[in-house]
Structure 1
């Protein structure tokens, strides 16, 4: 039996919450987390995914530590990381998060040769014509037809999504991952569809209902009017 309480696992209505102690060493924390994730009995149904929120208290994670933590949690195949939160962050990170959390509302048609870029989420009321490009540091929501190129999470956010009232793209990009029109055969012309990175870092296109399982943190935004 694991007696240490450096890792607390709490069930919530939206998934599970991992509270990680901020006073022990990072390696001790990782060893205990690995043991508890291995001991836990997860739902065996393949289609059932469990959303995980992680809180690290007053522990600031370096980029390498964050990657190690994410890799360990994702090794449990039914777990999807919703967020990793800390009570502390670098000033530069705080400023970046502030920019990327802002929503830019734009009412226009992005025509061939035009590029529209925002640091946070983009809500575009209009179309993206063939040859047009939209880029966002966060998510992209298009209340119109997407026929050009859309690049969400363009600063490295692999959790970003692309949603369109009509999905007919020439190219989709999420973070550094790309799908060309030829990769999306059979997906063109879909109504109210969303694109996101699947477990193998391939870009997947599904109906909007899929976001509830893969990106539960977007529910409030989507229910608010997309």
Structure 2
């Protein structure tokens, strides 16, 4: 019986060749057909001058090791230059990062005394919070400046939220329903960026370098790196 379905389809474009990989067959069958086409068939398009190749895996997830297997087979042809390996599938970590990043609102002005900034989701402030100013949001608070005023994260009750600042010298911090007044740890001394979070129901403070350990999901946010 003749096989009608191809696990690997090669198409030429103005930018080079595109290898489309079937998402339903086994990986062994896929690699076997890819190797067969690279070594024995399609000689007219797989020989000659250097040509750019894009691999499109569609709804198939390729691990880094599997991606390397595909690339190694293609590199048997010295004229094939692998431009990229694309997939319509994203990892759980990527999906979580995209979800977090989409919720971040950026505010670029200093929050002055008597001013209140409210936001639903996460808030990134590119500026300072002066004494008497207040940041109030349902998500996390990130201040890339001095936090001298007040900040309330997780104002609707989310105890997993954090408050981070380049310079942490607040008049008051609040996460969900837990309030913390200034601590001796928050002096008027320039330090590395810190963040406050709830630990066993009490406010704790750590260097931002430990964010990935305390809140792994938040540690994936590229804007904090």
Q: CA deviation at 1:100?
A: 11
List alignment gaps of at least 5 residues for structure 1: 1-97
Instruction: Give TM-score scaled by structure 1 length.
Output: 0.52
Q: CA distance change for structure 1 residues 103 and 178 in 2, over 3 Å: closer, same or farther?
A: same
Paired with 2:193 and 2:123, the residues of 1 have a C-alpha distance of 16
Q: Is the 8 A contact 1:101 1:138 kept in 2?
A: no
Q: Deviations over 1:8-43 (max 9, x none)?
A: xxxxxxxxxxxxxxxxxxxxxxxxxxxxxxxxxxxx
- Change in Cα spacing, 1:113 to 1:122, as seen in structure 2 (3 Å) is same
Distance 1:158 1:114, change over 3 A: same
TM-score by length of 2: 0.52
What's the offset of the Cα at 1:128?
0.1
Aligned to 1:147: 148
Unaligned runs of 5+ in 2: 1-98
Is 2:185 aligned against 1:186? yes
Distance 1:152 1:193 in 2: 15
Please state if 1:205 is matched with 2:205: yes
Is residue 111–residue 129 contact of structure 2 (8 Å, CA) maintained in 1? yes
Whole-angstrom distance in 2 between the partners of 1:122 and 1:171: 17
Partner of 1:35: none
> CA-to-partner distance for each residue in 1:103-125, whole Å, 9 max, x for gaps?
11110000000000100000000
Q: Name the count of aligned residue pairs.
A: 125
Superimposed CA distance per residue, residues 144-183 of structure 1 (whole angstroms, 9 cap, x where no aligned partner): 00000000001111000011011110100000000012xx
Contact conserved, 2:212 with 2:220, CA < 8 A, in 1? no
Matched, 1:219 2:219: yes
Superposed structure 1 runs of 4+ greater than 3 Å apart:
98-101, 223-226
- Shift of the alpha carbon at 1:99? 11
CA, structure 1 residues 100+115, in 2 after alignment: closer, same or farther (shift >3 Å)?
Answer: farther
Q: Output the CA distance in 2 between the equivalents of 1:99 and 1:118.
A: 14
User: Match of 2:133?
Assistant: 132
2:164 aligned residue = 163
Contact 1:105 1:122 in 2 (8 A): yes
What is the deviation of 1:224?
3.4
Distance 2:101 2:211 in 1: 20
1:148–1:108 CA distance, 2 compared to 1 (3 A) = same
Q: CA separation in 1, counterparts of 2:100 and 2:197? A: 21
Counterpart CA distance in 1 for 2:216 and 2:147 is 23
